[in-house]
Structure 1
Amino acid sequence: MTPATEAIASKATKTKSRAKQNLGYWKRFGSFYIMMAPALIVLLMNNYLPMIGSLIAFKQIEYTSNSFVQSFLDSKWVGWENFNYLFSTTDAWTITRNTIGYNAVFIFLNIVIGVALALMFNAMRSRRWAKFHQTTMFLPYFLSMVVISYLVYAFLNSDIGIINKVVLPWFGLNPIDWYTESKWWPFILPLVNTWKYIGYYAIMFLAAIIGIDNEYFEAATIDGASKWRQIWSITIPLIRPVIIILTLLQIGRIFYSDFGLFFQVTRNSGILYDTTLVIDTYVYQGFIVSGDIGMSSAAGLYQAVVGFVLVFMSNLFIRKISKDDALF
């Protein structure tokens, strides 16, 4: 055989061998791909296909027909013009400060109080009472913000609220018109947010604590370590990956706000805007007034991009300190 013929024969042999390997691979794992296909299709349609809508942020939507798709295609491109809406207003600093400031406080309280409650639940000797407290604390997580807003109103109503009618008179204090004095809301909103979500975080941390092998604590007890020493030297270091992951997930949404918390609980009181107006409520109100979907989309895209960058940078920082604890 000539060298050229040998090369062709060798190439054909490799092709057949590769085809056999591929056929064997699909025979072995093909059923798993088939089972995965429905979930993958749902993921693509639910999470990735809507990303096309981000292009709305760069257009001035004009409803030229009954079809939104046709209106979208007919609308003109305006570049970064829609993003100027967030930064050209005098409220830009206020909404940015409130959004980041509140979320930073929320993250701190959720992590610190969540870990503390998880440690207390784990230390309870009666499993029955422990489950009762866990369930009771977890219930607010399932309540709608509309319901919570009415509960808060029952406490803060200036005429018949529990705080003004029962609590303040005990201390000889005058009633407070809570919905017209903005100075109280930087304390009220974190309190309400923590009450609603702390059960979720406490259960997450408790699940991580329960997963720790008891041999660590038994060895520490034999060595004479106190409960506090066991918490700081065993429990906290071993649940650190869970703390980091939950913190990163919250940092990713630091430019987002719980719309119900800032809109429903405050009853959208205009006099409170100095301390309660955040990006989400500001964009909603702007959309209601102007009806410009492009501006609202620009705000959503801006929040998503900033959230991604913050998660990426936070994870990079964690990798520099402890590579094993990084999310990716």
Structure 2
Amino acid sequence: MPLYKNLNEILNKFCSKIYQTTILLPYLISIVVVSYIVYAFLSMDTGLINKFLEGIGKDTVLWYNEAKFWPYILILVYCWKSFGFNTIIYYAVIVGIDTNLFEAAMVDGASKIKQIIHITLPSLKPTVIVMTILAIGRIFYSDFGLFYQVPMDSGALYSATNVIDTYVYRALFYIGDYGMSAAASLYQSVVGFLLVVGANALVRKLDADNALF
């Protein structure tokens, strides 16, 4: 018997729901709540990380004044928050795979790894391609809450957290530069559209069955 199971192979419904809820919960949490969770770890005076550093005799860090740490912090927060949503998408595809394929593979003596390589991954290919094309179209977009709310709009972090979305917001509400805000937003839309069209054209050339249009 294998020591591991796919999420869709867990027969105990209670355990399955617990796992699904645990995975999806971060995605459902408001970005404002996430920002305070991050603050609870990074606060200068009461943050868990600085308390730990004090406990082991190390110097504390002014996290909200040190821009060099924030590319890594934001990547970590984004992965933690978005992991559940992406997991549910791929989980839904895996659940829809015909179980007869896995049963036939087991009869032929295929291991779990071989089942994943020859059945699960090929079944996920269309979804992976679609998700990739959509992600390419949003390269010039960003999660506004992630780059504005999580760093607490700290001016010292602008070199690491100022993206097009936060720039548009500040130009619109702080400076009142409506023209530049509109131009930046238009640039995002046009370039995003062109990237989607280009990525889809490449996919259509390589594998026409999995292209979006």
With the length of structure 1 as denominator, give the TM-score of the two structures: 0.60
Equivalent residue in structure 1 for 2:60, among 161, 175, 180? 175
Residue 200 of structure 1: aligned partner: 85
Residue 323 of structure 1: aligned partner: 208
Equivalent residue in structure 1 for 2:28, among 138, 142, 147? 142
What do the CA deviations read for 1:26-57 (whole angstroms, capped 9, x no partner)? Answer: xxxxxxxxxxxxxxxxxxxxxxxxxxxxxxxx
How many Å apart are 1:208 and its aligned residue?
0.2
Residue 43 of structure 2: aligned partner: 157
Root-mean-square deviation (CA, aligned residues, Å) is: 1.7
What do the CA deviations read for 1:192-219 (whole angstroms, capped 9, x no partner)? Answer: 1122121111111000000000111111
Residue aligned with 2:41, SS: helix
Residue 65 of structure 1: aligned partner: none
How many Å apart are 1:259 and its aligned residue?
0.9
Q: 1:173 to 1:319 in 2, by over 3 A?
A: farther
Matches of 1:197 and 1:153, distance apart in 2: 19
Q: 1:142 to 1:183 in 2, by over 3 A?
A: same
How many Å apart are 1:243 and its aligned residue?
1.3
How many Å apart are 1:288 and its aligned residue?
2.7
Unaligned runs of 5+ in 2: none
Which structure has the greater CA radius of gyration? 1
How many Å apart are 1:280 and its aligned residue?
0.9
Pairing 1:249–2:113 present: no
Matches of 2:160 and 2:136, distance apart in 1: 21
Residue 121 of structure 2: aligned partner: 236
Residue 154 of structure 2: aligned partner: 269
- Would the aligned equivalents of 2:102 and 2:115 in 1 still touch at CA under 8 Å? yes
**For residue 153 of structure 2, what is the amino acid of its counterpart?**
N
Residue 190 of structure 1: aligned partner: 75
Matches of 2:97 and 2:119, distance apart in 1: 9
Residue 130 of structure 1: aligned partner: 16
**For residue 126 of structure 2, what is the amino acid of its counterpart?**
P
Listed as ranges, the matches of 1:1-328 within 5 Å are: 120-166=6-52, 168=53, 173-328=58-213
Matches of 1:257 and 1:274, distance apart in 2: 15
Matches of 1:224 and 1:142, distance apart in 2: 41
How many Å apart are 1:120 and its aligned residue?
4.0
Matches of 2:198 and 2:172, distance apart in 1: 32
**For residue 168 of structure 2, what is the amino acid of its counterpart?**
V
What do the CA deviations read for 1:129-160 (whole angstroms, capped 9, x no partner)? Answer: 12111112212222221111111101110110
